[in-house]
Amino acid sequence: MSAGAQHNRLARLESASGSEKGDQDFSVSCGIRSTIQISNDSERVMGRIVGVSEGEVVMVRVAPSDIFKDIRDNWPDVIMRFAAEGNVYGFKSPILGTLENPSIVFVKWPEDVKSVKLRVHERVPCFLNAGLICNELRREVVITDLSSGGCRIAFSKGGDAAELGVGLEREISLDISTATAGSQTVPGRIKSMTKEKSPKCGVMFESLDQNQQLVIDQLMDDIKAIW
């Protein structure tokens, strides 16, 4: 089944996670970003869902890499994760085959799909460089803790916040990069701000799309693995 024929098709997956109350339906469609890895300890490769045949297969296009070569040559079970409807879902399933040029992995339709809870209240300490954009100006900041719903940032220079016009309830954007998920510009709003010369600000993320939420979730996983 071609990716083009499936481009507008939505497939319904049923969550079998014991942590959910009853069964939960959600949509997976072409164009959604995803990650594939061979084990929980292995490197993740970013991909994009390019085809869906309900009950049979999910087709994921990935960048050529050593991980893809391993999948192509050894046919291992893979762990696949993706974001849909504001949640992150994952499953482990065998592959049915691969294609090259472009690199596509055919993942067997899962029997068990688990919902990964978004960690709204859990914050992890970190020290991450990011770019803050406000009033069409950009300054470098440091993210000092992170959750799925927001973060705390610190300005490196005392005058930067004033130059940007940063204040309470001000809409801002953060440029955040991860090794596994690439770069994303994440929208947010300033919810708290200290009165120090180099202020610290609490940021609440707003209206994140699937790709942005996936980047935040993966970044939290990476930080927790280090800590």
Which token pair is 146? 């992170």
Residue 109 reports pLDDT greater than 70: yes
CB 135 within 8 A of CB 172: no
pTM: 0.49
| Residue 104 three-state SS | strand
CB 193 within 8 A of CB 166: yes
Banded model confidence at residue 47, pLDDT cuts 50, 70, 90: confident
**pLDDT tens-place string over residues 51-104:** 999 889 999 999 888 889 999 999 999 999 887 666 678 889 999 999 999 999
Which token pair is 131? 């770019």
Banded model confidence at residue 193, pLDDT cuts 50, 70, 90: confident
**pLDDT tens-place string over residues 115-146:** 655 545 477 888 888 999 998 889 989 898 88
Q: Which residue has the higher pLDDT, 198 or 101?
A: 101
Instruction: Return the closest-CA partner of residue 180 out of 72, 75, 91, 79.
Output: 79
* Domains within the chain, CATH numbers bracketed: 10-116 (2.30.110.10), 124-226 (2.40.10.220)
CA distance 51 to 152: 38
Give Rg (Cα) of the chain. Answer: 19
Peptide bond into 110 cis (omega under 30): no
φ/ψ (deg, to 5) at 52: -140, 130
